[in-house]
Amino acid sequence: MTHPVFVTQLDAYLDGELAAPEAGELEAHLRVCPDCSRLERRRRTLSVALREQLPRYEAPDTLRARVRAALREQSSHAARRRTVPWRALSVAASLVVVAVGSWQLATRNAGSEAIADQVLASHVRSLMAGHLADVPSSDQHTVKPWFNGKLDFSPPVFDFAGRGFPLLGGRLDYVDGQQVAALVYGRRQHVINVFLWPAGRGRAAGSGAREFTRQGYHVLHWTTPEYTYWVASDLGLPELRDFLVLVQRGDAATR
Q: To the nearest whole angstrom, how small is the minimum distance from the Cβ of residue 232 to another protein? A: 20
- The nearer residue to another protein, 49 or 205, going by C-beta atoms, is 49
In terms of CB distance, is 48 or 161 closer to another protein? 48
On whether the CB atoms of residues 214 and 116 are closer than 8 A, the answer is: yes
Based on CB atoms, which residue is closest to another protein, 41 or 203? 41
For the chain, the residue count is 255
Binding site for another protein (CB under 8 A): 7-8, 10-12, 15, 17, 38, 42-43, 45-47, 49-51, 53-60, 62-64, 66-67, 70-71, 74-75, 78-79, 128-129
* Minimum CB–partner distance for residue 168 and another protein (Å): 18
Q: Looking at the DSSP assignment, which residues form a beta bridge with residue 60?
A: none
Residue 241 CA to residue 247 CA, distance in Å, equals 10
Smaller CB separation from another protein, 16 or 206 = 16
| CB of residue 104 to another protein, shortest distance in Å | 35
Q: How far is the CB of 86 from another protein (least distance, A)?
A: 16
The 8-class DSSP code of residue 156 comes to: -
Rounded to a whole number of angstroms, the minimum distance from the CB of residue 9 to another protein is 9
Q: Which long-range contacts (CB under 8 A, 24 or more apart) does 240-244 make?
A: 240/192, 241/209, 243/160, 243/165, 243/185, 243/187, 243/192, 244/209, 244/220
The answer to whether 222 and 188 have CB atoms below 8 angstroms apart is no
Residues near 208 by beta carbon (within 8 Å), at least 6 away in sequence:
222
Which residue number, 40 or 251, has a Cβ lying nearer to another protein? 40
